[in-house]
Amino acid sequence: MARKFFVGGNFKMNGTIESIKQITHNLSSAKLDPNTEVVIAPPALYLLLTREHLDKGIEVAAQNVFDKPNGAFTGEISVSQLKDSNITWTILGHSERRTILQETDDFVAQKTKTALDGGIGVVLCCGESLEQREAGSTVDVVVKQLEAVNKVIGKDGWSKVVIAYEPIWAIGTGKVATTEQAQEVHAAIRKWLNESVSSTAGENTRIIYGGSVSEKNCKDLSTQSDIDGFLVGGASLKPAFVDIINARQ
């Protein structure tokens, strides 16, 4: 099965009602590659507005979801609330949440299971810090993050997971990984999927790259055999996001 190219836009804690209306209008009226699956993740407050204004062919993701059903969890949102609002994906394990909000591998794994069990797709982020890369432990770090998830969701759980490899040193810094650096880690992740999950997961799971992707570097990255798309932060707020979606054209 060919893996469909996947481009996610992570708005992080950016945007206003006006700017989100503008972005959704631009995306809905742009000519987007039909061979690319596009998912955008606005702040929680704007999920419904985004869903309402966006072309139905583009999906919407939350930037996070809680691992418990509805109840007394102030400030959190649940999987059933996402489903109720036609939000079909969530990002989980973003490095900003792992580092700033101290989310552990196990907590990310638990939330991944809850989202998948509730029928929500997961863009699961993983990636190493600069110190870890310099110490030569990139693959170990990434595999440890993924293993925590595999332990909880099992080998059949990966069909609605997109793995986003995002080296922390490349996020929001303008320092993109070279195509070789990115391909090398993506190939290692695919090897891990093949050997530790299943050949089906190895063949079908999309592994996307994130970290200062722009309209300038996306084409080169998109030619690599194990790079199945992108998770885009800063550039997803700009008109150039369309060029990234169309990187393979």
Instruction: Give the contact letters, 60-99, x = binds to ligand PEP (CB under 6 A), - = no.
Output: ----------------------------------------
Sign of the torsion angle spanned by Cα atoms 154, 136, 103, 229? negative
Pick the closer one to ligand PEP by CB: 157 or 210.
210
- Say whether 166 is catalytic: yes
The answer to whether 48 and 85 are in contact (CB under 8 A) is yes
Please pick, from the candidates 50, 114, 183, 212, the single residue that binds ligand PEP as defined by CB under 6 A.
Answer: 212
What type of residue sits at position 126? C
Please pick, from the candidates 77, 221, 231, 244, the single residue that binds ligand PEP as defined by CB under 6 A.
Answer: 231
Pick the closer one to ligand PEP by CB: 82 or 126.
126
Please pick, from the candidates 67, 166, 226, 228, the single residue that binds ligand PEP as defined by CB under 6 A.
Answer: 166
Nearest distance from C-beta of residue 60 to ligand PEP, angstroms: 16
**Residue 171 makes contact with ligand PEP by CB under 6 A:** yes
Pick the closer one to ligand PEP by CB: 36 or 78.
36
Complete DSSP assignment for 170-202: GTTSS-PPPHHHHHHHHHHHHHHIIIII-HHHH
Q: Exposure of 118 by Cβ count < 10 A (0-12 exposed, 13-18 middle, 19+ buried)?
A: middle
CA distances from 48 to 5, 63, 120, 122 (A): 25, 13, 16, 19
Task: Using CB under 6 A, list all residues that contact ligand PEP.
Answer: 10, 12, 166, 171-172, 210-213, 231-235
